[in-house]
Amino acid sequence: MGFTLNWSNYCLNLDQRTHVMGVLNVTPDSFSDGGRYFDLDKAVEHALVMDREGADIIDVGGESTRPYARKISSNEEMDRVIPVIEALSEELTIPISIDTYKCEVAREALKCGASIINDISALRFDPQMASIAAKAGVPVILMHMKGTPENMQENPAYEDLIPEILDFLKDAVKRAVAAGISEDLIIVDPGIGFGKTFDDNLKIMKELFRFEALQRPVLLGASNKAFIGHILDKEPHERDTGTMATIAYMVINGAHIVRAHNVKKTVETVTMLDAIKRGSVN
């Protein structure tokens, strides 16, 4: 099945190769790199480095969604991300994604140069988010999450993991289309680490091919997450090898976009895998 995203001045051919979304956390408390890019100049420079390393999208987030993270107001979130997006919009030719579930943040981010909405709530937490995305005509990433960041890891349980996630995402796509969002601009994310046990995360990756039933491109973000640290006994900044292993398996199993902290290693990994899948160098 062919997936090409066309909007505004952008075109992402997701059949041609695996695309890489570089993570830019403008937060003091994200699980992997909290505080590292909280300063405006450092955030902008890091995004430009990721661009040079081959990122296809820069995903800017101003609120940590790690387990048990505290909520912040829309104003505080905008204070963090809007100056970064404004600066990057003058420097980058690749699309900027705003990682938020708040309509006020998304609206301002789109005005300032963002052109993708990455909503961990799949448009559930803010009833106005869908209409903002529809009016803007931008791609929307709909992610599965059980609960909220504050409680999602309090003993998450499923009767049948993959079918439940598939049903959730099918409903999310239907809601988005009903709100006026073009189905051709919808991306789905099974939500690694969001209301999942370590074994759940592994099962999602092992059975990722089942998400082809959604007939939408699949994005996955396993980079540096806790299940990798649990298996390898590594801290977040030591999980590159484990992350590349998960990315390799996800690409083999059908991921179209992978979200990563270490863009350079991720681009090299997916470039090799895409060549192997094609069976040719070019």
Known catalytic residues? 225, 259
User: Tokens representing 254?
Assistant: 């059908």
Residue 109 to residue 182: CA distance in whole angstroms: 20
Query: Amino acid identity, residue 193?
Result: G
190, 169 Cβ separation under 8 angstroms: yes
- Helix 198-206 to helix 240-252 angle (10° resolution) is 40
Residue 184 to residue 6: CA distance in whole angstroms: 8
Q: 156 phi and psi, to 5 degrees?
A: -65, 135
Residue 212 to residue 202: CA distance in whole angstroms: 17
* Helix residue ranges, H only, the chain: 40-52, 74-89, 103-112, 129-136, 161-178, 198-206, 226-232, 240-252, 263-278
Give the count of alpha carbons within 13 A of 174, CB side only. 6
Grouping H, G, I as helix, E, B as strand and the rest as coil, residue 23 is: strand
25, 37 Cβ separation under 8 angstroms: yes
